[in-house]
Amino acid sequence: MFTPLVLPNGSTVPNRLAKAAIEENMAEAGQLPGAAIHRLYERWAEGGAGLIITGNVMVDGRALTGPATLVLEAQTPLEPFRRWAQAIRGHGAQAWMQVNHPGRQVMANMGGRALAPSAIALDMGKHSKLFAQPVAMTAADIGDVVARFAATAHAAEAAGFTGVQIHAAHGYLISQFLSPLANRRTDAWGGSLAGRARLLLDVVRAVRARVSPGFCVSVKLNSADFQRGGFSEADAREVVLMLNDLAVDLVELSGGSYESPAMQGVTADGRTLAREAYFLDFARELAAVARMPVMTTGGIARRAVAEQVLASGVAMAGIATALAAMPDLPRQWQAGHDAVAHMPAVRWKDKTLAGLARLALVRRRIRLLGAGRNGTLRYQPMWTLLVDQLRSAWMAKRYRAWLAGQPVH
């Protein structure tokens, strides 16, 4: 667990534990990182993980996963991002920025643009109207998105990050292209898996062309969508084989989307996930065919489970929610303690509201850490969700004002 990992480009990760991405939703004015995020990530870096992956940073300010999501475009001021990278790297960890475009997973009250491979809206049951109606992307839109991923990666390297993670999972834009449920295109970006994977491969190539050889390029990929007729385990295997031919330094395997939040342990197709290390069986199989190291994330909170992941042939164990509960968990494990970190469970009948409440609990916790406090984990889910929704409404108003002031591009 605490041995180094040498990546394909020659970079070294100090140990096999990663702080996986959690969307912070903590942007300050201008959708920029501020002192709270710097403090939060310094705490995680002090906690001993060898790799720190940020929450998703948007490549296009017109399309955000949340109203307080961070944005890094070609013209964005870099100094706040430099301080963020320094806060992580000062403790020896690799600092990777997760870069993303939400596609159709955009709230309707945000304004902006909901782009998608096809004009198919999210099916969230009675909550579907919360999300924007997407428009099908043109070839020009696709080319623009590819260029934006490359520009954001280039800016991340200029700011001092040591790598990027291209988000191709969890139902966001690249994942939508991979899914036969969301992608009904009949052109070169649809149809067969080769067509549906074209956007991901083009983004990887464009990013690699804009960064230095020593800068790490990784991909977050669903092991499956966990929706009937969606992106399958067999599809994931074929995509990993495609990525083998590119300069990819690590693939992280997760699963699910807003419609089927397997990353929270809940599936839409009725499949039962493991109680811990949800995607380990999939990751083990894919690691056997991947030329690059594989990491898996989802439900890892105990040392014994992290050791099981690594013993299975998976190179790294990604920890997300548990590090919100206990930011120094890797240090505790390294010291020989069997510390366990869990956030409060939410088991409501309404799965969508339960998922929102779980996210609200995590965001409340990481805001507390960003304020330099520890506090308690005994949060009341309903009250936490209500406060989170009120905060999001205020942030959405601030975001719309910022967006209205941006130059047309």
Query: What are 50-80's pLDDT values in tens digits?
Result: 999 999 999 999 999 999 999 999 999 999 9
pTM exceeds 0.85, yes or no: yes
* pLDDT score at 251: 97
25 phi, psi to nearest 5 deg: 55, 45
Query: What are 178-207's pLDDT values in tens digits?
Result: 999 999 999 999 999 999 999 999 999 999
H or E stretch covering 201? helix 198-210
Per the CB < 8 A criterion, the answer to whether 162 and 247 are in contact is no
CATH code given to domain 5-344: 3.20.20.70
Query: What are 131-170's pLDDT values in tens digits?
Result: 899 999 999 999 999 999 999 999 999 999 999 999 999 8
Give the whole-angstrom CA distance, residue 325 versus residue 91.
Answer: 20
Residue 275 has pLDDT above 70, yes or no: no
Give the whole-angstrom CA distance, residue 282 versus residue 222.
Answer: 10
257 phi, psi to nearest 5 deg: -160, -175
Per the CB < 8 A criterion, the answer to whether 267 and 217 are in contact is no
Give the whole-angstrom CA distance, residue 389 versus residue 395.
Answer: 10
Round the average pLDDT of the chain to a whole number and report it: 92
Residue 23 has pLDDT above 80, yes or no: yes
Residue pointed to by tokens 């990525």: 243
Per the CB < 8 A criterion, the answer to whether 50 and 18 are in contact is yes
**Pairing label, strands 51-53, 94-100:** parallel
Residue 307 has pLDDT above 90, yes or no: yes
Residue 103 has pLDDT above 90, yes or no: yes
CB atoms within 10 A of CB 90: 12
